[in-house]
Amino acid sequence: MHPYDPLHVNRRQFLGRASLGIGSAALASLLNPRLFAAGGLISAPHFAPKAKRIIWLTQAGAPSQLETFDYKPGLKGMFDKDMPASVRGDQRLTGFTSGQTRLPIAPSVYQFSQHGQSGMWISELLPHTAKLADEICVIRSMHTEAINHDPAMTLLQTGHQIGGRPSFGSWVSYGLGTMNENLPTFVALVSRPSGKTNAQPLHERMWGSGFLPAKYQGVRFTPTKDPVLYLTNPPGITAARRRAMLDDLQALNQSTLNEYHDPEIQNRIDQFEMAFRMQASVPELSDLSGEPATVFEDYGPESRKPGSYAANCILARRLAERGVRFIQLYHRGWDQHNDLPSGIKSQCYDVDQPTAALLTDLKERGLLEDTLIIWGGEFGRTVFSQGKLTADNYGRDHHPRCFSIWMAGAGVKRGHVFGETDDFSYNIVKDPVHIHDLNATALHLLGIDHTRLTHRFQGRDYRLTDVHGNIVSQIIA
């Protein structure tokens, strides 16, 4: 049912619709265009940006900070001792470990060493990342409220634990618009782990536009013949015939738009046009066969496998080169409730070399100076073992109270560590950074005041950071 132009609403229609809750709300949205229009769209950044684009390397499932970036040497002498009750306090546990009679401390089986002029402590699992220690900024004091994957990932991506709000990339697309008319502003890539692992599902709302117009949603590229669904014309349909069909369809849609002034009709017109342009631009973009052999060597042995994290890192660089503003690259499989030593080793094998190659590649091409890279998951892992603890095997449960991520590129301090956790990596003791603070800071680097990028929906102004968020100025160069 189309919304009605206020000029077309007669007395009978008004009374009939006003008697229905949903109809009344729809009518109200027409009588107050701010409920339907983009109230927070900015034509230019609020101030000079340091970054033009973001590549968010999302490690879905929550990497353990204890095996990656938060070195705790004092734990070696506490193997299998009960975690002090004073450390946990009144923090909740998941259903996985709430029934355990003990919470035995599990020191990491992996070694750490210092790297670069910064002397940053990095795990032996990440030797390639370690070589770039002086390029990255590690935040060890991230925290969140969510203790389970779906609400935590939803909070990380949309600023709220409950689905229905726009994702970060959609907000950026909505606020800043495109840098390439032939490609989406926001692209999502989902990578397959190379090993056997517990890969949490990812829902499409993670790159959805929520209550923003549909044209701002992320477009997922898949490792198939058609990276975008229905990209190729069916047999017998030429490009000229497709163009003629779209022209006729646009004329019909434009006629309806002129009558009802429904913004979603304009969004549909825009999406059809984008889809047509993508038929020419995406096949060339997604074809990695023209990349020199040295590129595949740099990104590692998995880089020739479509859909791998390494192949998607190459694709992310190609997207960045072509002006895609927001690239969300997911790597699933970090949920190590048991057999963590082998599971996290496999995951680090997947991401370490390709991630380092991506940073190096961007730097060599002059793109890192205006590209913000973010690497990390939705929360951290517990210092105590979930399930049976042995000298060489253990699991770790979800832990939202503290975890580590890193950032690099445009506007970020290089070779810097921010924040500090206690001796158990269980509580933050210095410089906490909430998800809202991270998002506010990333928007700031794009030249956006996070308090001013808003959209009115159902009578309220919404933003990515809700009513929270502080810029972490200490990590900005």
Q: What is the pLDDT of residues 287-331, one digit of tens each?
A: 999 999 999 999 999 999 999 999 999 999 999 999 999 999 999
Question: Looking up tokens 């618009």, which residue turns up?
Answer: 177
What's the pLDDT at 286? 94
Q: Is 2 helix (H, G, I), strand (E, B) or coil?
A: coil
Q: What are phi and psi of 276, to 5 degrees?
A: -65, -40
d(CA 216, CA 271): 10
Contact between residue 212 and residue 314 where contact means Cβ atoms under 8 Å apart:
no
Contact between residue 108 and residue 123 where contact means Cβ atoms under 8 Å apart:
yes
What's the pLDDT at 34? 36
From the list 6, 3, 10, the residue with the least C-alpha distance to 26 is 3
Task: Quote the tokens at residue 144.
Answer: 């969140």
Q: What are phi and psi of 58, to 5 degrees?
A: -85, 115
What's the pLDDT at 225? 83
The torsion region of residue 415 among left (phi > 0), alpha (psi -120 to 50) and beta comes to left
Contact between residue 375 and residue 57 where contact means Cβ atoms under 8 Å apart:
yes
CA distances to 54, 215, 224, 426 from 229, rounded to whole Å, are 24, 16, 9, 44
CB neighbourhood size of 365 (10 A): 12
d(CA 202, CA 153): 9
Contact between residue 221 and residue 189 where contact means Cβ atoms under 8 Å apart:
yes
Contact between residue 55 and residue 322 where contact means Cβ atoms under 8 Å apart:
no
Q: What are phi and psi of 349, to 5 degrees?
A: -60, -40
d(CA 310, CA 299): 6
Contact between residue 440 and residue 448 where contact means Cβ atoms under 8 Å apart:
no
Q: Which residues contact 229 (CB under 8 A, 6 or more apart)?
A: 222
Q: Which fold has domain 41-231+281-475?
A: Alkaline Phosphatase, subunit A (3.40.720)
Taking only the tens place, the pLDDT of each residue in 169-208 is: 999 999 999 999 999 999 999 998 998 877 878 889 999 9
Q: Is 11 helix (H, G, I), strand (E, B) or coil?
A: helix
Task: Quote the tokens at residue 400.
Answer: 């939202």
CA distances to 21, 194, 208, 354, 419 from 197, rounded to whole Å, are 47, 9, 26, 19, 30
Question: Looking up tokens 């005041």, which residue turns up?
Answer: 449
What's the pLDDT at 39? 33
Contact between residue 63 and residue 345 where contact means Cβ atoms under 8 Å apart:
no
Residues of the chain with pLDDT under 70: 1-41, 43
Antiparallel, parallel or unpaired: β 136-143 and 120-123: unpaired
Task: Quote the tokens at residue 365.
Answer: 């091409």
What's the pLDDT at 23? 47
Q: Which residues contact 472 (CB under 8 A, 6 or more apart)?
A: 139, 418, 433, 437, 438, 441
d(CA 18, CA 33): 17
What's the pLDDT at 313? 98
Domain boundaries, the chain: 41-231+281-475
d(CA 369, CA 152): 30
Contact between residue 413 and residue 137 where contact means Cβ atoms under 8 Å apart:
yes
What's the pLDDT at 11? 59
What's the pLDDT at 467? 95
Contact between residue 128 and residue 136 where contact means Cβ atoms under 8 Å apart:
no
Question: Looking up tokens 């105590």, which residue turns up?
Answer: 384
Q: What is the DSSP string of 32-68?
A: SGGGTS-SS--SS-SS--S-SEEEEEEEET---GGGT
d(CA 429, CA 433): 11
The torsion region of residue 230 among left (phi > 0), alpha (psi -120 to 50) and beta comes to left
